[in-house]
Chain A
Amino acid sequence: MFNMSLLRMERRDFIKMFLTLSTMIATSCRRPELFFPSRVKDDRAKTFENRLHFFTTFPNGFLPLGIEVETFEDKPFHLVGNQLHPNNYGVLPAFVLPSIYNLYDPYRFNKPKAKGKDIDLNYAMEILFKELRNVLDKGELIIFASHYFNSPSLNELLISLENKYKNIIFYQFPSYDFYLNQQLANKILYCSSSYFLKDVTKSDLILNFRRDFLQNDVFMPYYTYQFRSKEAILVTFENIFTLTGANSSYRYIIERDNFENALLILLKYVSNIQGNNEILNLFNNFYSFNDFLPTTLFELLQSSKGKKISILVDDALPPTCHILSNLIEYAWNQAPPNYLFKIDIPLYSDELTSLREVLKEQEIGKIVFLESNPYFLGVNELENILETLTNSKIVTLSMYYDEIARRSELYIPTKHYLEFWQDYRNVDGSVSSQQPIIFPLNNYSISIGEFLLAFRNFLSDGIIGIPDYFVYLKELYTKRIEQSGLTDLIRQGFFADNVTQSVEIRSMNIDYANAYSYLKKNISRDRNNELTVELLPNSKFFDPTYSNNIYLKELPDSITGIAWDNLLYMGKNIAEKFNLRTGDFVQISNKLNDAKSELPVYVSDFFAPSTIYGYLGFGNFYENEVFQLSNANLSKLIAFGHKGNEGIFPNNCIIPIQLTKIDTKKELTFVVSQSNVYKKSTLEWVLQKYQNELIVSLYQTSKLLGKNWNMLINLDSCIGCNMCLLACQLENNIPVVGREEVQKEREMYWIKVHKYEFDGAKHLLFIPIMCQQCDNAPCESVCPVGATLHSSDGLNEMIYNRCIGSRFCMANCPYKVRKFNFDSPDNVHPNYLQQLTNPIVTVRSRGVAEKCTFCIHRIREGKQEAILAGKNEDEFTIATACQEVCPTQAICFGRRNRIEKEQLSDQIYQLLTQFNTKPNVYFQVNFNNDK
């Protein structure tokens, strides 16, 4: 029995007992045991720090991108562009960098599901294949709906299946990409339905019709690489505000309806001054408005007579614009347009008609969706098909459990692109290889290639099992290439298989009569006064598969600085008409159906006065908390279940709408990066500034000259694409803080790209600002605990474990580049994100200030490698994370004496030199090409 006298003890006795017990407990405490699993066998080549690099390919439609993936202890955690790859030469768009996040994404890990129940993969395949065979025996149709396969091996599988079984149909539809407009134009002009890529390197003047080839374009890496040298004068016509427009020398705001007219006027003008009577006679009687193109444009054209011109047209613009641009180029250059590569894309409209014909005769037994979500895009034909089908006839293979997966009775998860073998066709005809970097994290997943191969094996042999796709690829390629080609494939990530000749394209002739008749039929003369919205793809989420990414969600828009939210962008006239300001809420509804969406608006003078546009790619597609935060899925307007969208997709996403203002207010999420401090950075201002320089100093002068690490940023090259910011975030374990914290201005980016309106808001100037690593650093003198110090190689360093969070350094920094951790790393780095963290960078705890370190871990590592290789301690170079990914190579990093020559030039300046901080970041002034 319990002795109650224990509770009735005296006070002294209690204290005695308490003390003895507590000391006993304290002494018996031991350090927690940390387990460390060892390897059983270690046959791999030893590298520095156990980190290995692999070349592989990112699947990106018809422009697969070469990447270099870095692994730590067999786990991929970091990637950069492959400098050798013929498609991108190291240039990457924003959505590729954090794509490893999707590998570790917990919302991905699903089991195959049949009627809502989890089942085994082999069992799911068995069920599916047997059902498919039954369908074939009955004589009904099997449709495999997917995006275009840009893979030679997959296409071979497709052809072999289609040839053998006439009931199997592959229906491929474009994902986001408006290839069709240019393809139709090419069919009319050249009798070829290929998609052409231009060579703009040799042209002196580029007329750009809304093609945002620096950011919001599928072929962004291709064109940005060509545009790097920036010798040509860029003239942009647009109704929206794109990054390309912001970087061009001349930017003309015209309405969307006026693009055809502008091109017609230009055609007449150009053929007139070049004396091309053939075209002039044909098109002189075409009616066109002539009241919106400024005279400066014609002056520019007159002055650049004899130079080479090339015209880029946005793929979302109608085929008439593409035809006219070709005619203008021909009239000006007296030669066909300078096309470099052609991509053979099946013509979507042809596929459609053939599908319709087949559907008239036969019934559908099964429809299998291969990594494509028709709910996302609203493809009309599929809509009609799916309405009549029961759930049991739908099968889905996709990475996430999305809308179509929920609709279907059988669902099988697919692999992330770092987990399986695949091959892709490059634009120049060579082949890229995609190799698995990691064993599949999800044992129940299968890739599309493996699935189709297994299906073919089942039909021929009756065996159910997951085949090795690598064996199939090897069989396919060993016939064609030698051993050296195979090693190329593994080592470089690509090999030259079947390089096309660009001469073949150049010798094509234009069919004038055909073009004339098409234009006469299709050019509209009436201006449309109906209220319409144009839906555009977003550069952050081209491929909806990777839109489930918090890094991309928080990445601010280059132009507007908006993070997390989806907004409706509109010009001044519309805003006045509906009495709207930025931040007001509206309800937008499709006139043709009941589809509705609510979202805030963004009003700006930068857009054409009566234009409205919004971005696709936002909204709740998967069950994910990230998506519940962000709102407004505009694809609802065109998506499934809403009739009356005939002809909207894929030609162009223009929808007649109704707007109504709603009273609810919601705070927008901006990453604010505008302060007038750095505003003036033209050459004139710099020259003036050096005359009145203050030379009063409270500090001792630095004795570290010549040894310092310096950074030089060429503002002339900088296009403000925010890639440096994203790469820095991934490299340095900077947390994603979330929507609410960004609203409190607590985002943690170490680099901020400041932007300034220039030349009467015609274009923008971008300045990336990070820690300036001052020699006389104001932050160092105020730190109460000496947590920020100067190192012997001139770096202003931050010692996280010493920091007590007084934030004096942040207050005293004139550049305002220091950040403070308001949240603990456990909250911002959940378990699945710890796989992504860079192992050699400390994860900062709560209450610690931080800032750009000039990638000190890379510097230290470089030094250690130099010592181990027996070299001099100071003779090594490194590339910072931002420098590696800069698409225009605007950032230069090295020792002071390395970039001293360039510093002597008077085009180079530093920020806020009047404070005598002696920063180590230099800026090269931005020239405007128009002067």
Chain B
Amino acid sequence: MDVKKIKIVGLLLIVVFLAVDVLLFLYLQRHNIGFRPRQDISFSHKTHSGKFGITCLFCHTNAENHSYANYPTTKTCMICHIALRTENKLLKSIIYSYDSMTSILYKRIYKLPEYVRFNHSLHLRSGIDCATCHSFVEQMDSLYLARPLTMGWCVDCHRDPLRYAISPRKISGIFYPEDTTEMWISLKEFEIFQNHKSAKPLNFFLSPKQLKPASIECSICHY
């Protein structure tokens, strides 16, 4: 082989390698994947969720019934930390917030554009795990944006959910009456509770659904 040819091929390879690099970089930059702001509170999901097994819904309670998943209140932190009130430096800001009734300023990572309406509860009820959109948070020390949150990415899953969606996991806190091993209320209790006159219609458990392709009409999200 000529030295020239080797040189050309080598150059081409370098160019292709660089181009792929640049494109990947641009893609990630475009969608902010890896966006990891420094929070005021150095909270570790890995410790709390991965190590101690606290479920997602324990803190982000609204995700089950509301369109948006809330940031936990300081009171939620203090459920445990009122007893574990150590003199750790990391806890200082939380204790200060609780004592002085000032809110913690979280930096938002997952933010959809203003013209998009997204409902957390509807997705949870359909049997879609948090990790589908938020990745495996229990393995992250500090949270970062792991999915592009583009419309194409949404529509991909809406068209073929079985391929993209992750089914409910124990760590998320989404349970179904079917798998009795992981239930907080047994099936019988569930039925009794539903049939009881004074009880309001139970709106925290639904019968499990087979994931079906969801609607991709524009006005499902944009209105």
- Cβ of B134 within 8 Å of any chain A Cβ, yes or no, is no
Given A797-B217, A856-B219, A870-B206, 15 additional A-B pairs, CB 8 A: A35-B106, A36-B106, A38-B71, A40-B73, A40-B74, A40-B97, A40-B102, A802-B218, A856-B223, A857-B223, A864-B119, A864-B122, A868-B203, A870-B202, A870-B203
- Name the residue on A nearest B39 (C-beta): A33
B107 and A35 contact, CB distance less than 8 A: yes
Report A-chain residues with C-beta under 8 Å of the C-beta of B218: 789, 791, 797, 799, 802
Closest A residue to B103 by CB, please name it. A37
Counting chain B CB atoms within 10 Å of each CB, which of A41, A840, A853 scores highest?
A41
Residues of B within 8 A of A27 (CB): 29
Which chain B residues lie closer than 8 Å to A925 at the CB level?
none
Per-residue CB contact flags for chain B residues 75-117 toward chain A (1 = under 8 Å, else 0) read 1000000000000000000000110011111111001011101
Contact A868 to B223, CB < 8 A, known contacts A40-B101, A41-B75: no
Verify if B208 is at the interface (C-beta below 8 Å from A). no
A41-B74 contact, Cβ under 8 Å, with A35-B107, A843-B114: yes
| Chain A residues within 8 Å of B5, by CB | none
| Residues in B neighbouring A843, C-beta threshold 8 A | 114
> Is residue A34 contacting chain B, with contact meaning CB distance below 8 A?
yes
Docked complex Cα distance between A792 and B117 (Å): 18
Chain A hits for B108, CB < 8 A: 33-36
* Chain B residues near A (Cβ < 8 Å): 29, 32, 35, 37, 62, 65-67, 70-75, 97-98, 101-108, 111, 113-115, 117, 119, 121-122, 125, 201-203, 206, 215, 217-220, 222-223
Taking CB as reference atom, which chain B residue is nearest A38?
B71
A477 CB → nearest B CB, Å: 31
Chain A positions within 8 Å of B73 at CB level: 38-42
Interface centre among A789, A840, A853, A868 (most CB of B within 10 A): A868
Asked whether A867 is an interface residue with its Cβ less than 8 Å from the other chain, the reply is yes
Give chain B residues whose Cβ lies under 8 Å from the Cβ of A35: 105-108
Taking CB atoms and an 8 Å cut-off, the chain A residues in 635-663 that contact chain B are none
Q: Which residues of B contact A799 (CB under 8 A)?
A: 218-219, 222
Q: How far is A802 from B221 in the complex, measured between Cα atoms in Å?
A: 13
Indicate whether A15 reaches chain B with its CB closer than 8 angstroms: no
| CA distance in complex: A41, B79 (Å) | 11
B220 to chain A, nearest CB (A): 8
Indicate whether A50 reaches chain B with its CB closer than 8 angstroms: yes
* Inter-chain contact A36/B107, CB cutoff 8 Å: yes
A734 to chain B, nearest CB (A): 15
Q: Is the CB of A867 within 8 A of B102?
A: no
**Complex partner residue of B37 from A33, A789, A801, A860, CB under 8 angstroms:** A33
A695 interface contact, C-beta 8 A? no
Residue of A nearest to B200 (CB): A869
Provide the bound-state CA to CA distance between A857 and B67, in Å.
Answer: 13
Measured CB to CB, the nearest residue on chain B to A863 is: B122
Please give the number of chain A residues whose Cβ is less than 8 angstroms from any Cβ of chain B in the complex. Answer: 39
Query: Any chain B CB within 8 A of the CB of A49?
Result: yes
| Cβ proximity bits A728-765 to B, threshold 8 Å, 1 near / 0 not | 00000000000000000000000000000000000000
Query: Known: A789-B218, A795-B219, A842-B223. Is A868-B65 also a contact (CB below 8 A)?
Result: yes
| Nearest CB of chain B from residue A884's CB, rounded to whole Å | 19
Q: Decide: B32 and A31 in contact? CB cutoff 8 A.
A: yes
- CB of A40 within 8 A of CB of B222, answer no
Cβ contacts A285-301/B at 8 Å (1 or 0 each): 00000000000000000
Given A36-B71, A864-B122, A868-B125, A797 contacting B223 (CB threshold 8 A): yes
- Whether A40 lies near B119 (C-beta < 8 A) is no
A518 CB-CB contact with B under 8 Å: no
- Residues in A with CB closer than 8 Å to B122 are 864, 867-868
20 contacts between A and B (CB under 8 A): A27-B29, A31-B35, A35-B106, A37-B103, A37-B105, A38-B105, A40-B97, A40-B101, A50-B66, A801-B113, A801-B222, A842-B115, A856-B219, A857-B117, A864-B67, A868-B65, A868-B121, A868-B122, A868-B203, A869-B201
Contact residues of A between 813 and 844, Cβ < 8 Å to B: 840-843
The closest CB in chain B to the CB of A30 belongs to B35
A42 shortest CB reach to chain B, Å: 5
CA distance A846 to B56 in the complex (A): 40
Once the chains bind, are A792 and B215 in contact (CB under 8 Å)? yes
Bound form: Cα–Cα A134–B206 in Å: 72
Is B223 within 8 A of A860, CB to CB? yes
Question: Per-residue 0/1 for A852-889: is the Cβ within 8 Å of any B Cβ (1 yes, 0 no)?
Answer: 01001100100010011110000000000000000000
Q: Which of A6-35 contact B (CB under 8 A)?
A: 27, 30-31, 33-35
Complex Cα distance, B67 from A42, in Å, reads: 17
Q: Is the CB of A40 within 8 A of B98?
A: yes
Complex interface bits, A132-162 against B, C-beta within 8 A gives 1, otherwise 0: 0000000000000000000000000000000
B178 → chain A closest CB, angstroms: 16
Report the Cα distance A30→B67, complex, angstroms: 28
Q: In the bound complex, how far is the Cα of B75 from the Cα of A31, in angstroms?
A: 30
Alpha-carbon distance between A35 and B66 when the two chains are bound, in angstroms: 21
A648 CB to nearest chain B CB (Å): 54
A50 to B73, CA, bound (A): 15
Find chain A residues with CB under 8 A from B201 CB: 869-870
Please report the C-alpha to C-alpha distance between residue A48 and residue B102 in the assembled complex, in whole angstroms.
Answer: 25
How far apart are A785's CB and chain B's nearest CB, in angstroms?
Answer: 11
- How far apart sit A864 and B65, CA to CA, in the bound complex (Å)? 10
- Asked whether A801 lies within 8 Å of B101 as measured between CB atoms, the reply is no
Is the CB–CB distance between B203 and A869 below 8 Å? yes
B10 to chain A, nearest CB (A): 24
Alpha-carbon distance A42/B73, docked complex (angstroms): 7
B residues in contact with A37, CB < 8 Å = 103-106
CB-CB under 8 A from B105, the residues of chain A are 35-38
Q: A856 CA to B117 CA in the complex, in Å?
A: 12
Q: How far is the CB of A255 from chain B (nearest CB, A)?
A: 54
The distance from the CB of B221 to the nearest CB of chain A, in whole angstroms, is: 9
Contact at B217–A38, with CB atoms within 8 Å?
no
